[in-house]
Amino acid sequence: MLIDWFTVGAQVINFLVLVWLLKRFLYRPILDAIDAREQRIAAELADADAKRAEAKQERETFQQKNQAFDEQRATLLAEATDAAKAERQRLLDEARQAADALRDKRQEALRQEAEQLNQALSSRTQREVFAIARKTLTDLAGASLEERLVAVFIERLRTMDGEAHALFAEALKANSDPVRVRSAFELPPAQRERIQAALNGTFETEVSVQFDAGPDLVGGIELTANGQRIGWSIQDYLGSLEQSVTELLSGS
Amino acid sequence: MRLSPDEIIFWEYGLIKLNATIVFTWALMLVLVVGSLLVTRKLSRDLTRSRWQNLLEILVTGIEKQIAEVGLSDVRTYLGFLGTLFLFVASASLATIIPGYEPPTGSLSTTTALALCVLVAVPFFGIADQGLGGYLKSYMEPTFMMLPFNIISEVSRTLALAVRLFGNMMSGAMIIAILLTITPFLFPILMTALGLLTGMVQAYIFSILAAVYIAAATQTRKPKPAAKP
């Protein structure tokens, strides 16, 4: 008999025990491990997806910020450039104005200097001319400058034309005030007497004379009476000298 | 000439006897349980895992896939029963490379026991799935006239399961035994290799047929899953 029924029963029990043991020790732990791993992989994939989405969003945010920053920087740069241009223009104008003012000041100073020089020159020339004339006259004719001046003055009085003579005579009659004889220097008494005599002789009357000395009358002598005036002065010579010197200076 | 390891009896007391079939079955059970215990004791749930765990995972997921291809929907309910059938029969034939070993599946008692388990498991799963009435009704499909034929088919296919496995395993062991007496060296090795192949095929056939029977008992009223011929 090939079938031993006791063995059949024992094998059935053996098999059922084996089924239970393998379920307990093989299938369940293995399947649990596989499920856990699958869940973990799924979770990691989901996590990776979430992270990717987050990273994408972050990148977009960053790009937007970057763009905004670029725009802002360009605006600021343009503003700064404009401000620098305006400032440059302002500084240039200021410098130009300062240079203009300085130039004007210098021109004014030069002009004043030239004027002072002119004045100094003319007064110096005057003194020199008098000194030369005095010395020349003394050397050559033994006469003083004052004498010669008075002589010239008297000569002019005598050779005065009729119309001037009439005007002077009229003035002397109308006015009771003394006529003024002004000279650049104090006249000695002898000369005063000569002038008095010449005036008396010329107008045929007793003329009261007041002698004045003033440096403003440039190197000469003059008679004024009621707006009428007669005299001689070195002024004319000095004028022509000054003109020639000025021509010389401007030409150099 | 002995045809079955049942005939090798180590110890006997009245009806109770300890023959080679039972002893080798125990040995196989011990190896299977201790082996899986050792591997699953330190199971890794991370992405890296040991080679032995990898082997067991391939084995378990492979069995799962085969069962799913038969058309059973709730695979994990049947995995314990069908997977153990396959693992027991496969390891029984795989162990034939060990000298002095007699496969317990070479005993008609063992194969009968396994076939009886299938015989009981089919209505068990069928009733659990459809209820008692629904299951009993399936015996009268398409008409009540088919009831006796359905019962005969149930018994005959159980007998066929038992005898097919027994015949194959017994013949393999027998051929090797005979050849060893005639040509002692090379030829028995080739036949052992062939025996290993037929053992694997038989393990596959046995468990797949059990799966098909269970599927037939549970899926009668349910729509067939798509793309599963």
What confidence tens digit (pLDDT) does each residue in A6-35 have? 999 999 999 999 999 999 999 999 999 999
Q: Check CB contact of A9 with chain B, cutoff 8 Å.
A: yes
Q: What is the mean pLDDT of chain A?
A: 84
pLDDT at site B124: 92
Chain B residues closer than 8 Å to A43 by CB: none
Residue B223 in any domain: the answer is no
Instruction: Output the domain CATH number for residue A156.
Output: 3.30.360
Task: Look at A3 and B109 and tell me if their CB atoms are within 8 Å.
Answer: yes
Most confident of A116-125, A202-211, B134-143, B198-207: B198-207
**Mean of pLDDT values over A115-139:** 78
Q: Coil, strand, or helix at residue A223? A: strand
CB A172 within 8 A of CB A212: no
Residue B142 in any domain: the answer is yes
pLDDT at site A42: 95
- Under 8 Å CB-to-CB from A219, ≥6 apart: which residues? A126, A129, A130, A184, A233, A234, A235, A238
Best residue in A2, A23, A32 for a mutation probing chain B (most B CBs within 10 Å): A2
Best residue in B13, B25, B40 for a mutation probing chain A (most A CBs within 10 Å): B40
pLDDT at site B101: 87
**Mean of pLDDT values over B123-132:** 88
Confidence of residue B229 (pLDDT cuts 50, 70, 90): very low
- Whether pLDDT at B225 is above 60: no
Confidence of residue A45 (pLDDT cuts 50, 70, 90): very high
**In angstroms, how far is CA A62 from the centroid of its own chain?**
54
* Torsion angles phi and psi, residue B27, rounded to 5: -60, -45
Residue A131 in any domain: the answer is no
* A114-118, B202-206, B221-225: range with lowest mean pLDDT: B221-225
> Rounded to an integer, what distance in angstroms lies between the CA atom of residue B3 and that of residue B18?
17
Domain count, chain A: 1
CA distance to partner chain A, nearest, from residue B132 (Å): 23
Going across the sheet that includes A179-183, the strands are: A209-213, A179-183, A220-225, A228-233
Confidence of residue A215 (pLDDT cuts 50, 70, 90): low
Q: Name the residue in chain A with its Cα closest to that of B34.
A: A25
> Rounded to an integer, what distance in angstroms lies between the CA atom of residue A118 and that of residue B181?
161
**Mean of pLDDT values over B217-223:** 62
Q: Which of B216, B202, B195 is nearest to B162 (CA)?
A: B202
Q: Which domain holds residue B41?
A: 5-218
What are the tens digits of pLDDT across the range A48-57? 999 999 999 9
CA distance to partner chain A, nearest, from residue B49 (Å): 10
pLDDT at site A10: 93
- Whether pLDDT at A131 is above 60: yes
Residue A194 in any domain: the answer is yes
pLDDT at site B12: 86
CB B88 within 8 A of CB B190: no
pLDDT at site B228: 43
Q: Name the residue in chain B with its Cα closest to that of A33.
A: B45
Please, what is the Cα angle at A231 between A183 and A125, to 5 degrees?
A: 60
Name beta bridge partners: A179.
Answer: A209
Amino acid letter at A46? A
**Mean of pLDDT values over A174-183:** 76
Q: Which domain holds residue A209?
A: 143-251
Task: Look at B21 and A36 and tell me if their CB atoms are within 8 Å.
Answer: no
Q: Check CB contact of A36 with chain B, cutoff 8 Å.
A: yes
Chain A residues closer than 8 Å to B110 by CB: 7-8, 11
Q: Pick B165 or A235 by higher pLDDT.
A: B165
* A7-11, B12-16, B138-142, B221-225: range with lowest mean pLDDT: B221-225
Task: Look at B15 and A6 and tell me if their CB atoms are within 8 Å.
Answer: yes
What is the length of chain B? 229
Q: What is the ipTM of this complex?
A: 0.88
Residue B227 in any domain: the answer is no
pLDDT at site A216: 63
CB B115 within 8 A of CB B205: no
pLDDT at site A112: 92
Q: Check CB contact of A48 with chain B, cutoff 8 Å.
A: no
What are the tens digits of pLDDT across the range B4-26? 788 888 888 888 889 999 999 99
What is the length of chain A? 252
Domain count, chain B: 1
The encoded tokens of residue B145 equal 């006239």
- Under 8 Å CB-to-CB from A43, ≥6 apart: which residues? none
Q: Check CB contact of A62 with chain B, cutoff 8 Å.
A: no
Confidence of residue B138 (pLDDT cuts 50, 70, 90): confident
Residue B203 in any domain: the answer is yes
Q: Check CB contact of B36 with chain A, cutoff 8 Å.
A: yes
What are the tens digits of pLDDT across the range A80-95? 999 999 999 999 999 9
What are the tens digits of pLDDT across the range B29-83? 999 999 999 988 888 777 788 898 899 999 999 999 999 999 888 888 899 999 9
CB B29 within 8 A of CB A21: yes
Of B17, B19, B83, the CB nearest to A27: B83
- Whether pLDDT at A219 is above 70: no
- Whether pLDDT at A97 is above 80: yes
Residue A214 in any domain: the answer is yes
